Chain A
Amino acid sequence: DAGITQSPRHKVTETGTPVTLRCHQTENHRYMYWYRQDPGHGLRLIHYSYGVKDTDKGEVSDGYSVSRSKTEDFLLTLESATSSQTSVYFCAISELSADTQYFGPGTRLTVL
């Protein structure tokens, strides 16, 4: 299995609080992605990175920001969590653009 970890694995927080999710890889892959998965919606891309300090928005980026200061770490921040951001969040990595992706175990976030 690709070396991808996500932390925390579970989090419960309250509306209005900031939340940061971390994705860490040991594969030295260039591309990293944050997705959310909700029933009936499949996977939706939030943000992605194509290199250190190079990031771009996905289809559901409102309310989220990301940072990538080194190859191995990709952080997803919810500046002020809302109940609509309750979801399962997956990080993925890829060696090549739009090619095979390897997924982390996911973070289940509940915003009360």
Chain B
Amino acid sequence: SQQGEEDPQALSIQEGENATMNCSYKTSINNLQWYRQNSGRGLVHLILIRSNEREKHSGRLRVTLDTSKKSSSLLITASRAADTASYFCATDGRGNYQLIWGAGTKLIIKP
């Protein structure tokens, strides 16, 4: 079963708007990661946030982590058509070598 649950499953916004997607998880973690997948391509790592961090930025991306609520959010500011993709969160909550993946949020940026 998937630990990470992204919300919403799909999101459609206008170019230039901000996009926010959320991830919830069930067990304690050491880190949480966000990945992007363009249609027909492999996943690309976006950002990793550790359990002792609350917020992290990378370019137009902002990730927050609330370990008390077992949730994370990914904010993409000033969205562009090229941001159209599926976004996945992954956690290390199994305590072994594996990541636990959510089912993803499909983001569509309308021109």
A residues with a Cβ closer than 8 A to B are 31, 33, 40-45, 48, 50, 56, 58, 90, 92, 97-106
Contact = CB atoms under 8 A, between A and B. Distances in A.
B97 A41 contact: no
Given A90-B43, A98-B94, 19 more contacts: A42-B2, A42-B88, A42-B101, A42-B104, A43-B43, A44-B101, A45-B99, A56-B97, A58-B98, A92-B43, A99-B31, A99-B48, A100-B33, A101-B33, A101-B45, A103-B44, A104-B42, A105-B41, A106-B42
A99 B45 CA distance: 10
SS class, residues of chain B in contact with chain A: loop
Given A41-B103, A100-B48, A48 B98 contact: yes
Interface string B83-102: 00000101010101111011
B27 interface: no
Contact of B30 (A48, A92, A98, A100): A98
A1 to B, nearest CB: 9
